[in-house]
């Protein structure tokens, strides 16, 4: 989707700091980190939120968690938090499904 910032990052139209990539998933540093380590785990296929995921995307949903696992192992991170904002009231601002991967000293209020 040309108007979607994450699709544009995936298409390399906008630069991003990529920390991990597979055929289906890209993991980038968040441009405005809310924790000492803040990554975004982003499926390459565009869906707007987890409400938009189809049953046949169950494997893709699982791959988001496996990508988070692989980033944690690669960077030797033992403790982290995964957050999925869904809908405007939750704080979602980019309407392309993604996990926030937060690590370091975390506050409870993200
Ligand atoms: P949301 O608010 O939708 O849960 O999360 C969107 C996240 O994307 C925010 O934490 C925001 O800082 C991040 N973000 C927005 N635009 C960009 C961008 O152009 N590059 C990167 N790396 N992160 C972005
Ligand atoms: Zn998108």
Catalytic residues: 98
Distance (Å, whole) CA 53 – CA 19? 24
8 Å CB contact between 57 and 51: no
pTM of the model: 0.96
Segment 90-102 shows an average pLDDT of 97
Q: Using CA atoms, how far apart are residues 104 and 1, in angstroms rounded to an integer?
A: 33
Measured in Å, residue 77 CA sits from the centre of ligand 1 at 22
Cβ density class 34-73: b for 16+ within 10 Å, e for less: ebebbbbbbbbeebbbbeebeeebeebeebbeebbebbbe
Query: Is the CB of 86 inside a 6 Å radius of any atom of ligand 1?
Result: no
CB 5 within 8 A of CB 93: no
Instruction: Give the model's pLDDT for residue 110.
Output: 64
Stretch 93-106: mean pLDDT:
95
Q: Which atom of ligand 1 is nearest to the CA of 38?
A: 10
Token pair of 94 as six digits: 């980019």
pLDDT digits (tens, 9 = 90+) for 61-78: 999 999 999 999 999 999
Residue 109 has pLDDT above 80, yes or no: no
Rounded to whole angstroms, the maximal C-alpha distance in the chain is 36
Task: Find out whether the beta carbon of 7 lies less than 6 Å from any atom of ligand 1.
Answer: no
Q: What average pLDDT score do residues 46-51 get?
A: 97
Whether residue 6 has pLDDT greater than 90: yes
> Is it the case that residue 24 has pLDDT exceeding 80?
yes
pLDDT of 107 reads 75
């Amino acid at each position: 989707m040309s108007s979607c910032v994450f699709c544009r990052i995936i298409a390399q139209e906008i630069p991003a700091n990529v920390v991990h990539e597979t055929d289906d998933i890209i993991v980038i540093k968040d441009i405005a980190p809310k924790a000492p380590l803040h990554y975004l785990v982003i499926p390459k296929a565009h869906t707007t939120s987890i409400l938009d995921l189809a049953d046949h995307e169950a494997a893709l949903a699982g791959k988001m968690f496996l990508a988070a696992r692989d980033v944690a192992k690669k960077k030797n991170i033992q403790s982290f938090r995964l957050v999925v904002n869904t809908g405007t009231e939750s704080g979602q601002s980019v309407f392309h499904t993604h996990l926030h991967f937060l690590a370091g000293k975390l506050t409870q209020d993200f």
